[in-house]
């Protein structure tokens, strides 16, 4: 990726957020309007940045990863081999040992199906 393009679409007064969309020279189009919008709260995320150019660059920095994700999603959507593979999994049930999924070096303890506890450092 050589270029990131972002469009600040609006400012949301209720959440004090700028709503931004991104594209890149590697996404299907170079038009940010064609892509998902994301909310950034500059006063919360970057309270130390008061210069607008520095703030725009910080948001664009995060936009690089978001545009990369959009590119990968586009590639996946066009990958008929993978889509057909996913279709073959329909109505199947899979079960794994937690250690096989997380690895034996994980410090995450699974207590219930819907709850995990991550130990704190210290």
pLDDT tier, 115 (very low <50, low <70, confident <90, very high otherwise): low
Mean pLDDT value of segment 80-93: 92
Where along the chain do its domains lie? 4-83
pLDDT of residue 122: 56
- The answer, yes or no, to whether residue 112 has pLDDT greater than 70, is no
Nearest CA-CA partner of 2 in 50, 58, 71, 93: 71
Question: How many CB atoms sit inside 10 A of residue 96's CB?
Answer: 8
Q: Report how far apart the first and last C-alpha atoms of the chain are (Å, whole number).
A: 40
Tens of pLDDT, residues 50-69: 999 999 999 999 999 999 99
- The answer, yes or no, to whether residue 85 has pLDDT greater than 60, is yes
What's the mean per-residue pLDDT of the chain?
89
């Amino acid at each position: 990726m050589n270029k990131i393009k972002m469009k600040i679409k609006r400012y949301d007064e209720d959440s004090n957020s700028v709503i931004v969309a991104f594209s890149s020279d590697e996404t299907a189009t170079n038009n940010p309007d064609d892509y998902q919008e994301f909310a950034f709260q500059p006063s919360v995320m970057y309270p130390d940045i008061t210069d607008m150019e520095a703030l725009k660059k910080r948001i664009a920095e995060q936009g690089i990863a978001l545009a990369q994700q959009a590119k990968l999603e586009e590639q996946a959507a066009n990958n008929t081999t993978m889509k057909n593979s996913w279709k073959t999994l329909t109505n199947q049930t899979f079960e794994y040992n937690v250690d096989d999924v997380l690895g034996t070096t994980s410090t995450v303890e699974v207590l219930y199906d819907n709850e995990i506890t991550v130990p704190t450092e210290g």
